[in-house]
Chains A and B, each alone.
Chain A
């Protein structure tokens, strides 16, 4: 805010000097405030907030910018005025004591007044001049000057005098706000003030579909560019806040940091990291698909990371949400207590779309969250057309992106809407779009989740089954079989069946193993018997050899014995035999 103010001041130096009003948002629209030292007309119908505008201009000037101001009331008495603005936290009594503000009530009652000839309004000028000089006022508000016409008959004189009054204010060098009631055809009843003012701001209070929206428009601003649109504004316990409808450029900072969605398997689908910080996420689905649960999980994850989350509930009360989320294992109450989570619940029909936008803006500016959840945006449709909601959301997304706030919308899609692109028309604006669908088959309904888009991310193209358990949310791989995609109990059945198959298969395998074992054993025993057969054969063979050797030996011995017995001449022969042995 401080930065933007600096920018505004810097920008205003190029044109005529401007005075900051202190009315939030107006200084942005007028690029720096009202023209300094010149009169500005604020006109509007009854109850459009003219008096509040003028008093806020004076009070903010005195309190925030050190510029004393004179408030000249033609309608309300000083006491009434003090009482009326006390609710906004403006202590006029004290400001008056401190000589920062001067209130003057001008009362003109036709019944008390008789016109006896020529006159002018010099008395008013003297009073005003005196009031300005007595506190060195820089700002003046006149509310509502037209009341002079009700009290006095001579309109020719009044017109001339009002013209002179504007000149007088200019000569005094005060920045003035003059309020005027809106007339039939022109901006004011007399059709005069708008021409002598340097800046004209029109306040409007319109009722569409029984819901009122306040709007503000800068009709003219001499010597300066200004926003020309109608800007919705809000009057609440802090006065007026105006919302600049659209930011002028598309040049906000982007972050490559990512935030977890709170569902690990979903993060995996989103390129393993989650959503980008400052991006906008749309979660859409039919009724009862768990959109709020996803949103709450996301909020919960943010709170657990220690970030601040603002939850806008347009359907359920905060207590309802907390109770319901407890059933899936998410304790939001804890975050609420710690202050990391804030709820902002309001009925969509409470006020118009624009007012909602302003209220959302205000809430965000106040609590500065890093994550915002809007649940659901569909309910806003009840108070505006699709195009209205779209433009509102465009502006909201715009604002949030500029502030680097990650936002998650939930949207209800109706089954009868064939076209998937109709999610309040925001689907093209958001950065990531999760779609939850009902998958109806085999007499049951299951949830399928897929990522329609996720800008700048390598995201999964799979349809995953989305299950809500009492421990939170999870995504399950869907079963792709020859029969198609299986979910829910069909998936469970399939899984069971496959498990049975495995058991049977294992059984079969083990039987084969045993048979093999048996065969091996048989063969081994066969081998054993063969070996023993061989051994016996070998032994048989060996026996022959030994016998033969023994025979030889014995025969040798026998021969030598015989030779010995012969004692003959064959001694040598005998020796040879022995040698051979």
Chain B
């Protein structure tokens, strides 16, 4: 379930490249909503300079533990630093943008 821009496969270190990981739980309504919302935001604001991993927590419990996931859905911004965790279905666009550090 990899989405992102094929033009920037390895430029994870660049300052304005967003490496995101979204944990969801199966096909629950709130998870589905989160996927739709975050994709929309990414496409709108950081199109072409992001990668988004969508992980089903049920399938990868080890990753859940590693990334210290509690609430679901959880969006983890791995880069640019600081690492930030956003929980919720990303319906509050303003907060998502603030959390990701995207000026609009």
Establish whether residues B25 and A115, one from each chain, have CB atoms under 8 Å apart when the complex forms. no
Name the one of A120, A123, A152 contacting B64, with C-beta atoms under 8 angstroms.
A123
- A152 CA to B86 CA in the complex, in Å? 11
**Proximity bits, B62-88, A CB within 8 Å = 1, else 0:** 101100111111110000001111111
A123 with B71, Cβ < 8 A, contacts A112-B84, A114-B85, A116-B95 known: yes
The listed residue (A116, A123, A124, A129) touching B88 by CB distance below 8 A is A116
In order of increasing CB-CB distance, the 7 nearest A-B pairs are: A117-B88, A130-B61, A114-B99, A117-B91, A123-B69, A117-B89, A116-B88
Whether B68 and A114, one on each chain, are in contact in the complex, defined by CB atoms closer than 8 angstroms, is no
Residue on B nearest A113 in the bound complex, by CB: B85
The yes or no answer to B18 lying at the interface (CB within 8 A) is: no
- Could you mark each residue 12-32 of chain B with 1 if its beta carbon is under 8 Å from any beta carbon of chain A, else 0? 000000000001010010100
Residue of B37, B58, B87 near A126 (CB, 8 A) is B58
Contact B69 A116 (CB under 8 A): no
- Assess the B71–A117 pair: CB atoms within 8 A: no
Is the Cβ of A113 less than 8 Å from the Cβ of B25?
no
Nearest residue, chain A, Cβ from B25 = A122
**Residues of B contacting A113 with CB < 8 Å?**
84-87
| Contacts known (A113-B87, A114-B87, A116-B90); A130 close to B62, Cβ less than 8 A | yes
Q: A112-B84, A113-B87, A114-B84 are known contacts. Are A124 and B92 too (CB-CB below 8 A)?
A: no
Contacting residues, chain B, for A120 (C-beta < 8 A)? 25, 30, 71-72
B57 close to chain A: CB less than 8 A: yes
- With A and B bound together, what is the CA distance between A157 and B74 in angstroms? 15
What residues of chain A have their CB less than 8 Å away from a CB belonging to chain B? 104-108, 112-124, 126-127, 129-131, 148, 151-152
A499 → chain B closest CB, angstroms: 96
Chain B residue numbers with a CB within 8 Å of A117 are 33-34, 37, 88-92
Can you pick out 24 interface pairs between chain A and chain B where the beta carbons lie within 8 Å of each other? A104-B65, A106-B70, A107-B68, A114-B85, A114-B96, A114-B99, A115-B95, A116-B75, A118-B89, A119-B74, A123-B57, A123-B64, A123-B70, A123-B72, A123-B74, A124-B71, A126-B61, A126-B69, A126-B72, A127-B61, A127-B65, A130-B61, A130-B64, A148-B70
> Which residue of the partner chain, among A114, A127, A151, A152, contacts B69 with CB atoms under 8 Å?
A127
| CB-CB nearest in chain B for A133 | B61
Q: State whether A114 touches B98 (Cβ < 8 A).
A: yes
- Interface size band for B: 35 or more
List the B side residues contacting A119 at CB < 8 Å: 30, 71-74, 87-89
Residue on A with the closest CB to B99?
A114
Tell me the bound Cα distance from A120 to B69 in angstroms: 11
Chain B residues with a Cβ under 8 A of chain A: 23, 25, 28, 30, 33-34, 37, 57-58, 61-62, 64-65, 68-75, 82-92, 95-96, 98-99
Please classify the interface of chain B as helix (H, G, I), strand (E, B), loop, or mixed, using the class held by over half of its residues. mixed
- Give Cα distance in the complex from A505 to B87, angstroms: 114
Q: Total number of A-B contacts with CB less than 8 angstroms?
A: 105
Interfacial chain A residues near B85, Cβ < 8 Å: 112-114
The distance in angstroms between the C-alpha atoms of A492 and B98, with both chains bound, is: 102
A487 → chain B closest CB, angstroms: 81
With known contacts A122-B72, A123-B71, A129–B61 Cβ distance under 8 A: yes
**Are B64 and A118 closer than 8 Å at their CB atoms?**
no
Which A-chain residue is minimally distant from B37 (CB atoms)?
A117
With contacts A112-B84, A114-B99 taken as known, whether A121 is within 8 angstroms of B91 at the C-beta atoms is no
A116 CA to B70 CA in the complex, in Å?
15
Known A112-B83, A116-B86, A152-B71: A126·B96 in contact at CB below 8 Å: no
Q: How far is the CA of A120 from the CA of B33 in the complex (A)?
A: 13
Q: Whole-angstrom distance between the alpha carbons of A126 and B86 in the complex?
A: 18
Chain A residues near B57: list those with CB within 8 A. 122-123, 126
Separation in Å of the B64 CB from the closest CB of chain A? Answer: 5
> Which residue of A105, A106, A123 has the most chain B CB atoms within 10 A of its CB atom?
A123
Point out the residues of chain A lying under 8 angstroms from B72, CB to CB.
119-123, 126
| Residue numbers in B under 8 Å from A131 (CB-CB) | 65
CB distance from B44 to the nearest CB of A (A): 15
CB distance from B84 to the nearest CB of A (A): 6
In the complex, A114 Cα to B83 Cα: how many Å? 11
* Contact between B65 and A130, CB atoms less than 8 A apart: yes
| Chain B residues within an 8 Å CB radius of A108 | 70
- A116 vs B40: C-alpha distance in the bound complex, in angstroms? 14
Shortest CB-to-CB span from A331 to chain B, Å, is: 64
Indicate if the CB atoms of A114 and B61 lie closer than 8 Å: no
Q: How far is the CB of A80 from chain B (nearest CB, A)?
A: 16
B69 touches A118 (CB 8 A): no
A129 to B69, CA, bound (A): 13
Cβ contacts under 8 Å, B62 to chain A: 130
Given contacts A116-B89, A121-B71, A123-B70, 6 further A-B contacts (CB under 8 A): A116-B88, A119-B87, A120-B71, A121-B70, A123-B23, A131-B65
B87 touches A115 (CB 8 A): yes
User: For residue A148, which residues in chain B have a CB less than 8 angstroms away from its CB?
Assistant: 70
